[in-house]
Amino acid sequence: MQTKFIFITGGVLSSLGKGLSAAAIGAVMEARGLRVINVKMDPYLNVDPGTMSPYQHGEVFVTEDGAETDLDLGHYERFVARPLHQRNSFTAGKIYQNVIEREREGGYLGSTVQVIPHVTDEIKRMMEEATGPKNGRVDLAIIEIGGTVGDIESLPFIEAIRQMRADKGPENVLYIHVTLVPYIRAAGELKTKPTQHSVKELLSLGIQPHILLCRSETPIPDELRQKIANFCNVGKDDVISAHDVNNIYKLPLVFHEQGLDARILQRLGGNWGVAAPLLDRWQDYVDRSEQPPHTLKVAVVGKYVQHQTDTYKSLNEALTHGGIVNAARVELKYVDSGDIDPSNVARHLAGVDAVLIPGGFGDRGIDGKIHAIRYARENNLPFFGICLGMQLAVVEFLRNVGGLADANSSEFGPTQHPVIHLMDSQAGITAKGGTMRLGAYPCDLAPGSVARRIYGADRISERHRHRFEVNPAYHALLEEKGMRISGTSPDRTLVEMIELPGHPYFVACQFHPEFKSRPLVPHPLFSAFLRAALERQLLRERTKPAPEISA
């Protein structure tokens, strides 16, 4: 069967949730037995988001094969079973880079290189590469175009997907447009005009959307759906209310309840997939997350806390997944590490059940993270360090237990004891984009270690994104002073995991486990971390003194 294509565009403004919508549609279509693949096309001129500030663009998601991609690929992988690769995410910068390189090589045989056909042809070529035979069988490709319809930079992408309908046949292409139906509080009503204008803009570019996903704060009533249908030249059943939900993992259920999957099947042929989606596992997850019996407060000590929703997106989701498997709701307390010093660290971490230090770059807020790690170590507070968090756990330990007062990372400047130093493979590299240790690498776990017990395996594979490592010259001192190196690269040269024997839970890793956590398959490191937090909380409750009874 020929691969079918769904193209998802957005209008009115950004951050409407195109990525989540694309992911949720993928989940419900996969639940119907289809083999689904997701692709993200971004119109910005960066070759990839790897060098972009988390404040501007959110987290950088890393794939198994080491691509630094948009955070929407994280949504796709959390909702759809198929792992994604470098070819599943590309930008205008990458497109233009390819076109210019081909022109310099004489690939266009002296032609004048233009947006149409050369740029649009390259966009289509990369879509074919992302969805073609090398990906295995693909029944349905869901391709999201970043940005907003009408943006100058997105025009070549809109033209390319317009051409795809003629290239693939109208029965194999479906356009879904995500738009806004705002609630105007002063007037007390939902307004459809932004949606009407957005569809008009898309029509002016040659695309009639087949289905509208209307983002709103509340469900859109039938009479308003009919009004939108009349003005936008679609059927009422093709106007889907994409209203706010308190749990993003409800979206496949919400879309199915409104018949979105049935409409997609009908428009794309309908004779494939099972009669009804198997959404029991999604329903079970949502049910378990509604009113869990426990609440855990976890301090996330970092430097990007002002924009924590997007900058720590995969981390936030992984903590949620790990909480649900422990029948707990996770309440995150974001602590700006730049605000922590020895005099106030206890106040900042008061009342939390566990501490997590995430990854990051640069020296801002480093001392605050080290103070938080020391507090967790000395006060038996469950601790989890990721990437930079592991490196700083090593620095803190060698400063305060190993007797090296000036132990530090060479990332932050010259030091007498560079216990964290630049990887040999990174020496001499000056380019910033795509030059780190990226993607999946194997890790061997020490017999009898906490890490080995958590994973239930001798060898694991996890995704990395870093340039610095624990200096091998200090491995022996670490273990001599009581820190266990519980995970290493197969050749034993790189430290992948550390832990502290005797501590209730003190585990850190050089890799980023959050990238592999899924709502239906929580990552074991997050599950174990939150289980330790829950055990500590329950123990404190059991040992709490009984209240005095007044006479």
Of 386, 403, 421, nearest in space to 498 by CA: 386
Give helix 313-325 / helix 280-290 axis angle, nearest 10°. Answer: 80
Using left for φ > 0, alpha for ψ between -120 and 50, and beta otherwise, residue 536 falls in alpha
35, 203 in Cβ contact below 8 A?
A: no
Tell me, yes or no, if 514 is annotated catalytic: yes
Cα 62 to Cα 54: distance, rounded to the nearest angstrom: 14
Cα 403 to Cα 390: distance, rounded to the nearest angstrom: 19
For 274-342, where are the E strands, in sequence order? Answer: 294-302, 328-336
From 214, 387, 443, 509, the catalytic residue: 387
Supply angle C-alpha 178, 184, 187, rounded to 5: 145
Residues forming a β-bridge with 179: 214
For 365-415, where are the E strands, in sequence order? Answer: 383-386, 407-409
Contacts of 31 (CB under 8 A, 6+ apart): 252, 277, 278, 279, 282
Alpha helices in 109-210 (DSSP H): 120-131, 155-168, 193-204
From 30, 159, 396, 514, the catalytic residue: 514
Of 6, 15, 347, 393, nearest in space to 207 by CA: 6
Of 525, 507, 434, 445, nearest in space to 63 by CA: 434
Of 498, 482, 388, nearest in space to 445 by CA: 498
The sign one gets for the Cα dihedral 40, 43, 44, 46 is positive
From 256, 321, 464, 512, the catalytic residue: 512
Cα 166 to the center of its chain, rounded Å: 34
Three-class secondary structure of residue 5 per DSSP: strand
Tell me, yes or no, if 509 is annotated catalytic: no
Supply angle C-alpha 477, 469, 497, rounded to 5: 70
Residues forming a β-bridge with 42: 91
Tell me, yes or no, if 512 is annotated catalytic: yes
Using left for φ > 0, alpha for ψ between -120 and 50, and beta otherwise, residue 442 falls in beta
Structure tokens at 131: 């969805």
Pairing of strands 4-10, 173-180: parallel
List, by residue number, the catalytic residues: 387, 512, 514
